[in-house]
């Protein structure tokens, strides 16, 4: 059945970026010497400062993971009622709302960027709406200008799940500067990571103290606990891994850029395959390489390609599928109907995330493309 030769070793959709172990051990030695493992240690402080610079953001708070960061983000802005968001995202996005006792309202997505469709947000606003929660899917920014206009008109807050958007800038402005706050995830599968970890990014000085309290049980000092906070702290070992990895990011990005260009060159002109366009003035996060397979033109559907690739030892991901609006916990919501989400339902059937990590060779990527193209014939 298989005409092209399968890969000898499995090719996964991603592999975590790992630093030279000796360099990490040096950092661990520092931590051991300090006998300080968590609660605003030296590594934590240094990582916060370095990321503030790299991401061009006035304030940044580190967290033990991106999901807890976003839960705290909603709390810090005192959101309640309903929040308008996208169904085309990772489960964490709507779940964070649910954990804040907020009802997610799903808005359809833009057919090109696959982000929340800013032109459809206004019709979903009710007296209960308190915020818009956009996701910069695959690192492509949402229509931040239009979303802010709507928010200003109706007095809503704006939050972004920027988990895919490490290092993304719009005309030189760090992505975290848009909206009231943004979350980044430093999970092992993300380009920059701390094994598990995350951050909130914001511009408002007043938010910093509140976020810091909320992520440490609401403890103000030895004698006062001023609010029902949670434990969202990043520890020194996580922070030190991040610090060591920062030296590897540019090289990893360069390699991913070469691979991305190879994918584009091989797949761009195949009818039935759409690659995500590069947008002028926007930096690529090189977090994922995602294609869309249009069954009518390509001849077979995304599910077939995903399954067939496994026969060749290539493991891709249907990212994002299923839609959040199809989870049993959200299916009952009126905004989850297919009639409300026609574009999202179509896109979720077409997307396929292909392997992308610095350890792949250009040759590997060319072979993966050949295997995909052969399915068409």
Min CB(123)–ligand PLP separation in Å:
24
Min CB(154)–ligand PLP separation in Å:
25
Nearest to 230 by CA among 101, 85, 99, 95: 99
Candidates 14, 76, 85, 89; binder of ligand PLP (CB under 6 A) is 89
The residue range among 62-70, 240-248, 323-331, 339-347 that interacts with ligand PLP, by the rule CB under 6 A, is: 62-70
By the 8 A CB rule, do 115 and 140 touch? yes
Candidates 44, 95, 187, 367; binder of ligand PLP (CB under 6 A) is 187
Min CB(197)–ligand PLP separation in Å:
7
Binding to ligand PLP in span 1-40, by CB under 6 A = none
Taking the C-alpha atoms of residue 118 and residue 48, their distance in angstroms, rounded to an integer, is 32
The residue range among 47-55, 59-67, 103-111, 125-133 that interacts with ligand PLP, by the rule CB under 6 A, is: 59-67
Taking the C-alpha atoms of residue 97 and residue 148, their distance in angstroms, rounded to an integer, is 20
Nearer to ligand PLP, 91 or 272 (CB): 91
Taking the C-alpha atoms of residue 21 and residue 314, their distance in angstroms, rounded to an integer, is 28
The CB-nearest residue to ligand PLP is 66
Q: What is the CA radius of gyration of the chain?
A: 21
Q: Quickly list H helices, the chain.
A: 21-34, 42-54, 66-76, 92-99, 118-121, 144-154, 205-214, 236-246, 249-267, 295-298, 302-311, 342-350, 362-376
The answer to whether residue 161 forms part of the interface with ligand PLP (CB under 6 A) is yes
Taking the C-alpha atoms of residue 64 and residue 214, their distance in angstroms, rounded to an integer, is 13
Candidates 41, 66, 104, 141; binder of ligand PLP (CB under 6 A) is 66
Min CB(292)–ligand PLP separation in Å:
18
Whether a cis peptide bond, with omega within 30° of 0, leads into 332 is: no
The answer to whether residue 336 forms part of the interface with ligand PLP (CB under 6 A) is no
Candidates 14, 43, 61, 67; binder of ligand PLP (CB under 6 A) is 67
Binding site for ligand PLP (CB under 6 A): 65-67, 89-90, 92-93, 135, 161, 163-164, 185, 187, 198
């Amino acid at each position: 059945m298989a005409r092209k030769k399968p890969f000898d070793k499995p090719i996964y959709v991603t592999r975590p970026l790992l630093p030279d172990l000796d360099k990490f051990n040096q950092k661990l030695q520092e931590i051991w010497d300090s006998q300080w493992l968590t609660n605003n240690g030296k590594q934590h402080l240094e990582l916060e400062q370095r990321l503030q610079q790299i991401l061009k953001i006035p304030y940044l708070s580190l967290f033990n993971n991106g999901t807890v960061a976003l839960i705290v983000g909603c709390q810090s802005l005192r959101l309640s009622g309903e929040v308008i968001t996208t169904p085309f995202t990772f489960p964490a996005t709507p779940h964070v709302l649910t954990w804040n006792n907020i009802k997610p309202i799903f808005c359809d997505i833009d057919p090109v960027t696959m982000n929340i469709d800013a032109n459809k947000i206004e019709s979903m606003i009710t007296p209960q709406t308190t915020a818009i929660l956009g996701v910069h899917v695959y690192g492509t920014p949402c229509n931040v200008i239009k979303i802010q206009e709507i928010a200003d008109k109706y007095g809503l807050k704006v939050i972004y799940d920027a988990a895919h958007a490490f290092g993304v800038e719009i005309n030189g402005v760090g992505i975290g500067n848009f909206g009231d706050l943004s979350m980044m995830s430093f999970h092992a599968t993300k380009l920059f990571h701390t094994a598990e970890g995350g951050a909130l990014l914001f511009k408002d000085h007043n938010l910093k103290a509140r976020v810091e309290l909320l992520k440490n049980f609401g403890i103000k000092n030895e004698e006062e606990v001023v609010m029902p906070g949670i434990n969202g702290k990043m520890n020194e070992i996580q922070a030190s891994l991040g610090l060591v990895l920062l030296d590897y990011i540019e090289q990893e990005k360069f390699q991913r850029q070469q691979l991305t260009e190879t994918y584009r060159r091989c797949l761009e002109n195949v009818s039935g395959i759409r690659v995500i366009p590069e947008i002028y003035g926007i930096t690529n996060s090189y977090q994922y390489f995602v294609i869309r397979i249009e069954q009518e033109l390509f001849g077979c559907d995304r599910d077939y390609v995903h399954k067939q690739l496994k026969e060749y030892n290539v493991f891709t991901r249907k990212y994002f599928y299923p839609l959040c609006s199809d989870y049993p916990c959200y299916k009952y919501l009126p905004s989850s109907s297919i009639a409300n989400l026609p574009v999202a339902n179509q896109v979720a059937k077409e997307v396929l995330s292909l392997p992308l990590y610095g350890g792949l060779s250009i040759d590997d990527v060319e072979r993966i493309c050949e295997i995909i193209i052969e399915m068409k014939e």
